Amino acid sequence: MPETRKIGPFDVSAIGLGCMSLSHAYGPPPPEAQAERVLTGAVEAGYTFFDTAAVYGLGHNERLVGRVLKPYRDRIVLASKCGMTRGEERDLNGSPERLKQTCDESLARLGVEVIDLYYLHRWDKRVPIEESVGALADLVAVGKIRSIGLSEVGATTLRKAHAVHPIAALQTEYSPWTRNPEIAVLDACRELGVTFVAFSPVARGFLAGGASEPEKFGKGDFRKAMPRFNGEALAANLKLLDAFSAIAHDAGCTRAQLCLAWLLQKDPNVVPIPGTSNPDHMTENAGALHVRLSTETMAQIEATVNERTVAGARYPEAMQATVDTEDWAA
């Protein structure tokens, strides 16, 4: 994976690895040995950017990532997140004291002395964003983190945060079926020199063809509660898959690669971080770097899957409440 992109002071692989699904969210986590194969295989495939968080598996993911990637620490850029530790809305805590405590806990679980990129996982709206970012700036000053990121915030909040301390990256869902960042966030990132990190770039598996039968989702799979995977919204969204599959066929790539290639060509400031618990899918995703889409194919994708053709909200109401949507639609 020779292509790199910038995140703050770092050059990272143009596609990173989202590590969440190795510990929770999409049903039971994979066996430990399989998770290890995904992580070590990713290093061998050229991934140099790995994304975890305190809340993933309630600390399990940080311990897993830290242990498995320890031999490669000098070859990778490691990102984690604070501000949410149990995954519940009432658990949001952006107070400076809590963020600093969470950082110490994450450093211990990861087994590292410094975290390269440390995100505020969600903005706790009870605490001014300037105060939360100020606490992260303190962590930079004492050498516990190297750069600061934000997750799921709008352009206005990004600008307020950036005025306190340079923000290296902003992370939000972005794929053909989630286009909210195009309203204002992407422009703000370009203006401020902030890299946009796209999570769920293959639509939580849906556009890759791996999530078309929600009745087969495992226990604890949080997609079961997401409007896009239920009822009439699901029925409407399933109708998009055949056309999307045809575009991928004509482009000579898989559906997952089509999503990733679309993102990579949309904006050189975007770094997608697909997650998977399947080593073969991890390798497949890396192959998106070799896919080149014509202007006509890019237009076809956007005409087929967009904010008007996709049915249902991103999140159920309680989860949506944790997202800063001041200047972009839910």
Query: What is the set of active-site residues?
Result: 56
* Alpha-carbon span 289 to 15, nearest angstrom: 8
Residues across the chain: 330
Q: Which of 104, 164, 159, 105 is nearest to 133 (CA)?
A: 164
Which residues lie across from 82 on neighbouring strands?
120
The span from the CA of 38 to the CA of 206, in Å, is 20
Tokens for 18, please give them. Answer: 């989202």
Strand 10-13 with 4-7, pairing? antiparallel
One-letter amino acid for residue 277 of the chain: S
Taken in order 283, 284, 285, 286, the sign of the CA dihedral is positive
Apex 195 CA angle, 192 and 122, nearest 5:
95
Is-contact 309 240, C-beta < 8 A?
yes
Helix segments in 111-151, DSSP class H: 129-141
Neighbouring C-beta atoms of residue 290, cutoff 10 Å:
12
